């Protein structure tokens, strides 16, 4: 589908600054008209479920992940409902931009049925704010390649709604252990050290809500973990309008496949909270610890991430910016030529200045 402007027929996109639909051509607000043009797949037809990695049936997790890599990258071309051009995309793409007419198209069957997201956080910051964040962060990085922060390169930044699974867990956590408290004092010439022993019992209900785990093969797990936290207060019910102006993909790993990551996060936090509850002791000997999940549920949603793909000397340097909070993940490439030139110049100039000061002092 495409969102067209009632007033001028231009492509209407969601504007994070205005928090409204906006036509960049005639500057109308909320003038969108949905056009459900069917997007035909050109070339060989693939089943929609093909790109999704499922836990059931497949063998080892490692081979499943490898299979997922291949499947998610599987390229297809679809016809643009606006200009008829062939848009290259993967089998999982649900929203993208037509390279010919620059219109943002949304692939209907990737956001319907089982692939309908339950919720999403709309982009909070626009592209210009994102560019400024990247510039501010890497301005001082003088060894980065010259065009790293150039307008031309930075215009390639795009917003991406990343598919996430959100896990809810109700847990009962118990702990049993023996703790010691040590007290020491001195009377006259004698030092006393008193060790008291306590029996520690803790029992608490910890309810976790929406632990996010990305459901995209293409997104690196560690980076997506660093994107957190997102502010769930801005969670909205899913509407296709939000996708206009951005890229997106449907989930391509099923919830049971990635649940182990959510469980690990849950367990780590629960253990920390148990640990904090007996922090007053000098030492604690653990005798029993149990984290018991009493109830769980999972939901599907999209989270906003800005992406800047910079390639330098054949290597990719991806930068990710949380589209809601502005948190930035990524390291700038280093130009070796610049390191040599700048450090060399500094060293030589400094040495020359010192030598000349020395020479002047001895001559005068």
Q: Which of residues 302-341 bind another protein (CB under 8 A)?
A: 327-332, 334, 338-339, 341
User: 19 or 272: whose CB is closer to another protein?
Assistant: 272
User: 83 or 355: whose CB is closer to another protein?
Assistant: 355
Q: Is residue 207 a contact point for another protein (CB under 8 A)? A: yes
Specify the 3-state DSSP secondary structure of 138: helix
Rounded to 5 degrees, φ, ψ at 327 are -65, 135
- Cβ–Cβ contacts within 10 Å for residue 93, how many? 21
Q: Is residue 201 a contact point for another protein (CB under 8 A)? A: yes
- The correct pick among 59, 60, 189, 315 for binding another protein (CB under 8 A) is 189
- The correct pick among 66, 83, 209, 264 for binding another protein (CB under 8 A) is 209
Alpha helices in 139-279 (DSSP H): 151-154, 221-227, 255-277
Number of amino acids touching another protein (CB under 8 A) = 78
Query: Which structure tokens are listed for 26?
Result: 């005639």
Specify the 3-state DSSP secondary structure of 117: coil
Q: Tell the residue number behind the tokens 């030598």, with chain if given.
A: 355
User: 108 or 178: whose CB is closer to another protein?
Assistant: 178
User: 75 or 285: whose CB is closer to another protein?
Assistant: 285
Strands 93-97 and 13-15: unpaired
Q: Is residue 206 a contact point for another protein (CB under 8 A)? A: yes
The string of DSSP codes covering 314-345 is TEEEEEEEETTT--EE------HHHHHHHHHH
- The correct pick among 4, 78, 210, 307 for binding another protein (CB under 8 A) is 210
Q: Is residue 199 a contact point for another protein (CB under 8 A)? A: yes
**Gap between the Cα atoms of 270 and 363, Å rounded:** 74
User: 56 or 152: whose CB is closer to another protein?
Assistant: 152
| The one segment of 24-32, 66-74, 94-102, 196-204 that binds another protein by CB under 8 A | 196-204
User: 62 or 363: whose CB is closer to another protein?
Assistant: 363
Rounded to 5 degrees, φ, ψ at 311 are -110, 135
Chain centroid to CA 315: 21
Q: Is residue 133 a contact point for another protein (CB under 8 A)? A: no
Least distance from C-beta 71 to another protein, angstroms?
Answer: 29
Q: Is residue 289 a contact point for another protein (CB under 8 A)? A: no
Query: Which structure tokens are listed for 71?
Result: 């499947």
256-275 footprint of another protein as x/- string (CB under 8 A): ---------xx--x--xx--
**Gap between the Cα atoms of 23 and 31, Å rounded:** 7
**Gap between the Cα atoms of 179 and 145, Å rounded:** 56
């Amino acid at each position: 589908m495409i969102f067209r402007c009632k007033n001028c027929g231009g492509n209407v996109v969601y504007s994070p600054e205005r928090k409204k639909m906006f036509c960049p051509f005639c500057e109308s607000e909320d003038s969108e008209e949905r056009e459900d043009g069917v997007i035909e797949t050109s070339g060989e037809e693939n089943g929609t479920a093909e790109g999704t990695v499922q836990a059931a049936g497949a063998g080892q997790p490692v081979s499943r992940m490898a299979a997922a890599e291949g499947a998610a990258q599987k390229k297809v071309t679809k016809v643009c409902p606006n200009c008829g051009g062939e848009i290259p995309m993967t089998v999982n793409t649900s929203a993208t931009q037509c390279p010919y007419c620059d219109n943002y198209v949304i692939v209907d069957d990737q956001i319907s049925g089982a692939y309908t997201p339950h919720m999403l956080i709309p982009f909070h910051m626009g592209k210009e704010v994102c560019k400024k964040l990247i510039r501010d962060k890497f301005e001082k990085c003088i060894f980065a390649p010259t065009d790293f922060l150039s307008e031309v390169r930075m215009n390639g930044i795009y917003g991406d709604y990343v598919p996430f699974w959100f896990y809810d867990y109700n847990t009962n956590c118990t702990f049993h252990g023996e703790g010691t408290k040590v007290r020491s004092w001195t009377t006259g010439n004698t030092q006393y050290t008193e060790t008291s022993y306590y029996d520690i019992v803790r029992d608490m209900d910890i309810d976790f809500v929406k632990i996010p785990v990305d459901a995209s093969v293409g997104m690196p797990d560690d980076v997506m973990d660093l994107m957190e936290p997102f502010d769930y207060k801005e969670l909205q019910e899913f509407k296709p309008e939000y996708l206009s102006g951005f890229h997106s993909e449907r989930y391509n790993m099923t919830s049971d496949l990635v649940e182990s990551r959510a469980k690990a996060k849950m367990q780590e936090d629960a253990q920390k909270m148990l640990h904090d509850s007996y922090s007053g002791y000098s030492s604690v000997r653990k005798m029993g610890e149990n984290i018991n999940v009493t109830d769980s549920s999972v939901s599907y949603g999209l989270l906003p991430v800005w992406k800047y793909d910079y390639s330098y000397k054949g290597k990719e340097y991806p930068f990710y910016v949380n589209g809601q909070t502005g948190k930035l993940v990524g390291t700038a490439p280093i130009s070796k030529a610049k390191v040599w030139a700048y450090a060399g110049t500094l060293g030589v100039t400094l040495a020359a200045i010192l030598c000349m000061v020395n020479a002047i002092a001895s001559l005068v």
